[in-house]
Amino acid sequence: MTQTIYVLNGPNLNLLGTREPEIYGYDTLDDIAGMMEDHARGLGLEVDVRQSNHEGHLIDWMHEAQAEGAKAIIINPGAYTHTSIALFDAAKSIKVPVIEVHLSDPLKREEFRHISYVGMAAVKSITGQGPKGYILALDHAATL
C-alpha cells in the first residue's frame, strides 16, 4: 500500500501568491500542492495537503496522521510556529516524524519569529527555500 505524507499548512497560507510575493513568492498553495503530488508520485508516495487557520485543526490532523499510519508529517505552521506549545506537544505526542518547512527564513526576519516551538520537536527544519523547501521535505520524508 502506498504510504501517505500529511502536508499541513497553518494560518494565512491559503492566501499565498496574493500578497507579499517578495517574501513568499508567486506560487499559490494549490500550485505547491500540485508540485508535491507530482514529486510524491515519483517517490512512490502519496501526499495529503491541507490548510487551516485554526490551531486545533492542525493538532487534530497530527493525531489523525498517527491513527492512519502516515509515514511523516510535513508542516508549515505559519505564525503558530512561534507561539504554539500545543503544536510542540502534539508533535511530541505522536510517533510519526515531523518535518518543519518555512518558505522564508524566520531567523532573518523579525525577532519574534526567531523561536520555533514545532522546530524543537521536528526531525528536520527546512527554511528560506521557497516552495522548493516542500519538495526537499518530501525527499527527506522518503528517507525515513
Give the end-to-end CA distance of the chain in Å, rounded to a whole number: 16
Residue 26 or 69: the one with the smaller Cβ distance to ligand CA2 is 26
Question: Under DSSP, is residue 124 helix (H, G, I), strand (E, B) or coil?
Answer: strand
The reply to whether 24 belongs to the active site is: yes
- CA proximity to 51, closest of 25, 34, 30: 30
Reading phi first (left if > 0) and then psi (alpha if -120 to 50, else beta), residue 21 is in: alpha
Reading phi first (left if > 0) and then psi (alpha if -120 to 50, else beta), residue 17 is in: left
The reply to whether 102 belongs to the active site is: yes
6 interacts with ligand CA2 by CB under 6 A: no
The grid cell for 33 is 500542492
Binder of ligand CA2 out of 39, 113, 132, 140 (CB under 6 A):
113
78 interacts with ligand CA2 by CB under 6 A: yes
Cα–Cα–Cα angle for 77, 33, 83, rounded to 5 degrees = 5
- Judge whether 61 and 98 are in contact, CB under 8 Å: no
Which window, 15-23, 37-45, 47-55, 61-69, contacts ligand CA2 (CB under 6 A)?
15-23
Residue 40 or 74: the one with the smaller Cβ distance to ligand CA2 is 74
Which window, 30-38, 48-56, 61-69, 99-107, contacts ligand CA2 (CB under 6 A)?
99-107
Number of residues this chain uses to bind ligand CA2 (CB under 6 A): 17
15 interacts with ligand CA2 by CB under 6 A: yes
User: Could you give the residue numbers annotated as active site?
Assistant: 24, 102
Binding site for ligand CA2 (CB under 6 A): 12-13, 15-16, 18-20, 24, 76, 78-79, 81, 102-104, 106, 113
